[in-house]
Amino acid sequence: MKTSTFKTSLLKTLITACLVSLTGVGGARAESLFYDMKVGGLYHDVPGLWSGFQLEKKSLDINIEAQLSPSMQVWFFTMRPAFGATINTEGLTSHAYADARLSYEWPSGVFFGFGVGAAIHDGHIGIDDPYRKAMGSRVLFHAPLELGYRFDAHNSISGYFEHISNGYTQRYNEGMDRAGIRYGYRF
């Protein structure tokens, strides 16, 4: 299967899942499984952050994420599983991820989240293309940060940052940073 076909299929599946969840199709089952759904636009391969430099061209990434309802308390934070994908609109490096996400929300509506997990990407592993990052491994670490504001019981907006890399476990580890804005809907 071609990469662009795979990305299109993945994007359609994730959008369908989001729409089904947001419209309530499936009733209580969808609401009991999903805690929060998020969608947003991210700047691809941001220069000057954790990865240090930009190699892939400036473009837009679409991020879609589902945080699931099961949770546990870890100190002051609530930890939930999160699954998502960041899909590049120009055919550059995209990835899907699964995280353990910790978050804290103040009574004012301000919230903060961070996590750690794994990502699988479709980018380059080695240095075979001078215009693409050498990620070193197909499976990478995924580290997200989020700071946002919840307007009411359901709607939120947030600034989001994510980093993927192999953490210097391989010969090549150019890593990639993305940053942008996401809209969230809590069930």
Distances (CA, A) of 140 to 22, 73, 98, 103, 187: 30, 26, 11, 22, 30
Task: Identify the pLDDT of residue 40.
Answer: 98
Whether residue 43 is predicted with pLDDT greater than 80 in this model: the reply is yes
pTM: 0.84
Average pLDDT over residues 5-21: 53
| H helix or E strand, kind and range, residue 116 | strand 110-121
Over the stretch 87-110, which tens digit does the pLDDT of each residue have? 999 999 999 999 999 999 999 999
Question: Could you give the domains of the chain?
Answer: 3-186 (2.40.160.20)
pLDDT of the residue at 21? 47
Share of the chain above pLDDT 70, in %: 83
* Average pLDDT over every residue of 20-46: 75
